[in-house]
Every structure is written in C-alpha cells, then in structure tokens.
C-alpha cells in the first residue's frame, strides 16, 4: 500500500499549478492594484501574508523563508497603509475567480468534475493541523468561499501552505537557512536557475557567493557549485521530511479518494498550464 507521504508528494505535483497560477496571472495585479496596492512585488507579499493580518516584514520574511528580508521590507508594512489585509484577501479571491474562469472556461468551472475535486480537496484539509504552521493557520482562519472553483483553490492553498510550513521546519532541522536552502535547491536542477533565484528573491551576487562558499566549506557543494554526495543526501532527507510532515491530510482522505483527486487535479492543472497561466518555460515548483 502506498504510504501517505508518497501520496503527499504526488498530490503536490498534481495540484500545485492550480494554486501557483495566482502569482503569474494578470488578474492578480489588476485586482490587487484596484484594491490600493502598488503594481509589482507588493501584491505578492501582501496577498500571501494578508490572511495573517497586518504583520511586519520580519514575520513575512520568516514565513516565506527564502526572500531577502531587505526586499520584503520595501513592501511590508507599507502595503497595509494602502489596503487593509481584509481588502487584500477579498481582492485575491476576486483575482482567482476571474483567472480560473478565463483559464478553465465557464463550462469546466461549472462541471461536476471540478465540483468533485473541490469536495475532495476540502475533505483533505480536515486532516491538517495548525500546530507549528503559522502561514497555514492564517489561511485556515479565512471563511470558506461558496463557489466550487474557489473552494478548490482555497483548499489547495491550505494544503500548499501546510506543506510549506512543514518544509521550512525540515530545512531548519537540517541546518539550511533561507538563502542556503535556495542555493542548494537551485543546485538540484529542479528549481530556479541562480540568476532567476537571485533576482526574484532579492539576493545580491555578493550574498549569493558567500552562501555558496559556506556550503562548499560544509561539504554540501563542490568546487563547481554542484551538490556533493553529502549535499544530495541532505536534500533527499529534507524532501523525505517534507513529505512526511505533509502526510496527514492524505492519510485522512484515504488512498482511493486521494488518487481520484490527483487524477482530477492533473487534468485541471494541465488546462491552466496549456491556457498560458505561466510565462514560457516557468512552472512554479515552490513549496
């Protein structure tokens, strides 16, 4: 029988695009700027943090983990002087509604299959716990929307943030701070290229190079910047711990229903990707 941790890994891959599209679609900037935020990165930081209230930059940097705190501080807490957290949450759901209707089409949005996926995903979230998971807990305090496509998006968001908080815990336990985690993840070849990671997360060349040097000294990277055998094993342990920490919702849902949700999620994710939800060559693999 497949372990719940293995189901967690498969479900994350199947469903992640349905949540992550909100970080790329034009509807996000449209509705968030209409709510009062400035165009650009402010919308990302504010919209993801808003369920936690008007938190400061330290809290956002800690819970998002691999962003340069100086970058976060450019936008938080300034965002809360332009739009309240409640208004930002509302605008985000408005953006999700518009984006999913465009990407999936009204027929799919109103389909029995999407409603089934929403019901299954919501059922899975009943197995989540807020213990030690601040970003998940903030999102879990939100009221559930009524329409199935918004229920599905919110449920996947809860599952994603639940997994993400567990991933951060795994990184902390294994001694990888935010920048070291980002550098070592790029070295796996499964995430950003270094140039994109530095640009999007706000790290300078000097800061990046210092992190690389420290990981080399620790035997995690080799002279060429690739993962050593020790580094590969470390990243594998982090991944195993992440999947184990994310297992409870899938254990609660059960293998048969989880497989059904994964099947439905793959089909819906494929639709949003093929509809152009992400820039060319980009599919978000972040936690």
- pLDDT value at position 191? 78
C-alpha–C-alpha distance, residues 186 and 19, integer Å: 22
* pLDDT confidence bin for 2, thresholds 50/70/90: confident
* pLDDT confidence bin for 281, thresholds 50/70/90: low
- Per-residue pLDDT tens digits for 73-131: 999 999 999 999 999 999 999 999 999 999 999 999 999 999 999 999 999 999 999 99
The two three-digit tokens of residue 254, written as one number: 């059960």
- What region, left, alpha or beta, does residue 132 occupy, with left being phi > 0 and alpha being psi -120 to 50 degrees? left
Q: At what angle do helices 178-186 and 205-217 cross, to 10 degrees?
A: 80
- pLDDT value at position 283? 55
**Mean of pLDDT over the chain:** 96
DSSP string, 56-96: -HHHHHHHH-SS-HHHHTTTTTHHHHHS-HHHHHHHHHHHH
C-alpha–C-alpha distance, residues 239 and 231, integer Å: 12
Which of the residue ranges 42-51, 176-185, 187-196, 267-276 would you say has the lowest mean pLDDT?
A: 187-196
Share of the chain above pLDDT 70, in %: 97
C-alpha–C-alpha distance, residues 20 and 242, integer Å: 19
Quick one: average pLDDT of 153-178? 98
Q: What are the two backbone dihedrals, phi and then psi, of residue 198, each rounded to the nearest 5 degrees? A: -65, -40
> Which of 255, 257, 277, 174 lies closest to 1 in space, CA to CA?
255
DSSP string, 126-195: TT---TT-HHHHHHHTSPPPSSHHHHHHHHHHHHHHHHHHHHHHHHHHTT--HHHHHHHHHTTTSS--HH
pTM score, two decimals?
Answer: 0.95
pLDDT at residue 262 tops 80: yes
* pLDDT confidence bin for 263, thresholds 50/70/90: very high
Domain map of the chain by residue range?
A: 4-274
- Per-residue pLDDT tens digits for 189-248: 987 889 999 999 999 999 999 999 999 999 999 999 999 999 999 999 999 999 999 999
Residue 224: C-alpha distances to residues 73, 212, 216, 237 (Å): 33, 10, 9, 23
C-alpha–C-alpha distance, residues 187 and 226, integer Å: 6
- Per-residue pLDDT tens digits for 63-83: 999 999 999 999 999 999 999
């Amino acid at each position: 029988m497949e372990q719940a941790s293995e189901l967690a890994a498969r479900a994350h891959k199947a469903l992640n695009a349905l949540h992550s599209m909100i970080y790329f679609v034009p509807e996000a900037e449209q509705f968030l700027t209409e709510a009062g935020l400035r165009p650009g990165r402010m919308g990302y930081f504010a919209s993801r943090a808003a369920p936690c209230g008007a938190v400061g930059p330290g809290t956002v940097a800690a819970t998002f983990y691999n962003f340069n705190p100086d970058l976060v501080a450019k936008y938080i807490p300034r965002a809360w002087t332009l739009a309240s957290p409640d208004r930002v949450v509302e605008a985000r759901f408005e953006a999700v509604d518009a984006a999913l209707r465009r990407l999936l089409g009204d027929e799919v949005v109103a389909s029995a299959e999407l409603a089934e996926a929403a019901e299954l995903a919501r059922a899975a979230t009943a197995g989540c716990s807020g213990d030690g998971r601040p970003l998940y807990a903030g999102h879990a305090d939100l009221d559930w929307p009524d329409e199935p496509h918004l229920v599905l998006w919110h449920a996947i968001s809860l599952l994603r943030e639940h997994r993400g908080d567990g991933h951060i815990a795994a990184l902390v336990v294994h001694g990888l701070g935010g920048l070291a985690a980002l550098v070592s993840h790029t070295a796996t070849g499964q995430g950003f290229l270094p140039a994109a990671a530095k640009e999007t997360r706000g790290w300078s060349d000097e800061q990046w190079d210092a992190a690389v040097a420290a990981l080399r000294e620790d035997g995690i990277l080799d002279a060429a910047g690739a993962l050593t055998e020790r580094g590969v094993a470390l990243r594998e342990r982090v991944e195993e711990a992440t999947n184990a920490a994310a297992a409870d919702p899938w254990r609660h849902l059960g293998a048969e229903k989880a497989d059904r949700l994964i099947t439905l999620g793959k089909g819906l994710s494929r639709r949003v990707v093929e509809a152009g939800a992400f820039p060319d060559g980009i599919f978000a693999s972040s936690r």
